[in-house]
Structure 1
Amino acid sequence: MKWASCLRLARVGAWQVGVVAFLAAAPLALGGDPLPEPQGPVILTVSGTVGVTNSEAGAQFDRQMLRDIGVTHVKTSTPWTDGVQDFSGVLGRALMERVEAQGDVVMASALNDYTVELPMSDFLDYDLLLATEMNGEEMRVSDKGPVWIVYPRDDEPALQDRRLHDRWVWQLKSLQVQ
């Protein structure tokens, strides 16, 4: 009788170990690649309905983490600069994919708390860029940086509409997906 009880306990113990091992691996199995901790100053936070985060505030990114998603160039004119500029940064859709964003609206906020609502479709339908460099120079706060939402207005006539100018958020600090 004692031997049978020990055997049942051994089976339960092995089952419990299996469950614990599954639960420990579940976040990696169910979600995307984990987002590392920023090593440098945080220049952008993405929060709201996102599936991948690295802090209680949401998904926080330093400059290198944004570069690691992939650097894209967009050459376009803007209402605030002279002539065509060469912007580089991460595509909005690539960032939204990386954090597994789910929503229809993105609230973009600047360092001065200017906030504007952007449709998620802007991130998905256009090569909307979260620019961190202009003409090969890192963008600084004094020059619309560290992140500026840039639309490829020269490639898309619909983006030249003056009513869209408020969506070009410079000194961007956060995106909240709703």
Structure 2
Amino acid sequence: MHLVNLGARLGRAWALSLAVVAVLQATAGARAEPLAAPAGDVILTVHGQIAHSNGAQGAALDRELLKSFGVITLHTSTIWTDGTSAFEGVELAALLEHLGASGSVLRLVALNEYAVELPMSEAVPGGPLLAFRMDGKDLSPRDKGPLWMIYPYDTNPAYKNEVSYSRSIWQLTSIEVLP
């Protein structure tokens, strides 16, 4: 009877070992997959504490790479525009998830070097959107592009405050993920 229990224990240990190895291989494969190189003009660089990059300077992203992270449309009004607009872009949370960001603070910088910092905990699904289109037109630097961080002001009144407005950076070109 003692040998039967020992055999059963060894069998369970062997099965558990195989399961752990399978999980580790799947995880390693997912992490090892490199981020594609941009084919077009780079509109955003992300650096700092990220697991996935495509160069020595972090992740260089063109519009198509950003779109590959999942485009959503947000209908909202802003204090800078008339009426409700349709903003298309990538949620900040989706971008950070795809890049394997692991910091606690984000520093966002615009073309004119205006910068804002926000806690990474603010990057939640249904939260800030990195918009590259407004009302069907690509955003250019003349109209707050290449990227404008927009909050869902109309669907979540908690974002209608001076802190969120000050973090709604336009002409966004760089994000640093800080510890």
Answer whether TM exceeds 0.5 for this pair. yes
Residue equivalent to 2:87: 87
Q: How far apart, CA to CA, are the structure 1 residues paired with 2:101 and 2:145?
A: 23
The residue that corresponds to 1:56 in the other structure is 56
2:147 is matched with 147
Which consecutive residues of structure 1, in runs of 5 or more, have no partner in the other structure?
Answer: 1-24
Q: CA deviation at 1:65?
A: 0.6
Partner of 2:99: 99
Give percent identity, aligned residues only: 42
> Secondary structure of 2:132's partner?
strand
Measured in 2, the distance between the counterparts of 1:74 and 1:93 equals 15
Measured in 1, the distance between the counterparts of 2:85 and 2:122 equals 21
The count of corresponding residues between Structure 1 and Structure 2 is 153
Cα separation, 1, equivalents of 2:74 and 2:119? 20
Residues 1:68 and 1:30: Cα distance change in structure 2 (over 3 Å) = closer
**CA offset at residue 125 of structure 1?**
5.5
Q: For 1:47, what is the secondary structure of its paired residue?
A: strand
Q: Distance in 1 between matches of 2:76 and 2:177?
A: 26
- 1:56 is displaced (CA, Å) by 1.0
Residue 108 of structure 1 is matched in structure 2 by 108
Which one-letter code corresponds to 1:50 in the other structure? I
- Whether contact under 8 Å (2:54, 2:60) holds in the other structure is yes
Q: Is the 8 A contact 2:48 2:176 kept in 1?
A: yes
Question: Would the alpha carbon gap of residues 174 and 84 (structure 1) be closer, same or farther in structure 2, given more than 3 Å must change?
Answer: same
Shift of 1:88: 0.3
User: What secondary structure, in the 3-state scheme, does the structure 2 residue paired with 1:31 have?
Assistant: helix
**CA 31–72 in structure 1, closer or farther in 2 if over 3 Å, else same:** same
* Paired residue type of 2:99: V
Contact 2:151 / 2:164 at 8 angstroms: preserved in 1? Answer: no
1:63-78 maps to which residues of 2 (within 5 A)?
A: 63-78=63-78
Q: What does 1:161-176 correspond to in 2, within 5 Å?
A: 161-176=161-176
Normalising by structure 1, what TM-score?
A: 0.81
Aligned AA (2:160): Q
CA distance in 2, matches of 1:137, 1:30: 35
Alignment pair present for 1:43 and 2:43: yes
User: Deviation digits for residues 133-171 of structure 1, max 9, x if unmatched?
Assistant: 000110011000010000001111110012321100100
Letter in 2 for 1:68: S
- In the superposition, relative to structure 1, how do residues 125 and 90 fare at CA in structure 2: closer, same or farther (>3 Å)? closer
| Structure 2, gaps ≥5 residues long | 1-24
Asked if structure 2 preserves the Cα contact closer than 8 Å seen for 1:28 and 1:34, the reply is no
The whole-number CA distance in structure 2 between the counterparts of 1:145 and 1:113 is: 14
- Report the counterpart of residue 120 of structure 2 in structure 1: 120
Secondary structure at 2:123's aligned position in 1? helix
Runs of 4+ in 1 over 4 A off after TM superposition: none
| TM-score calculated relative to the size of structure 2 | 0.81
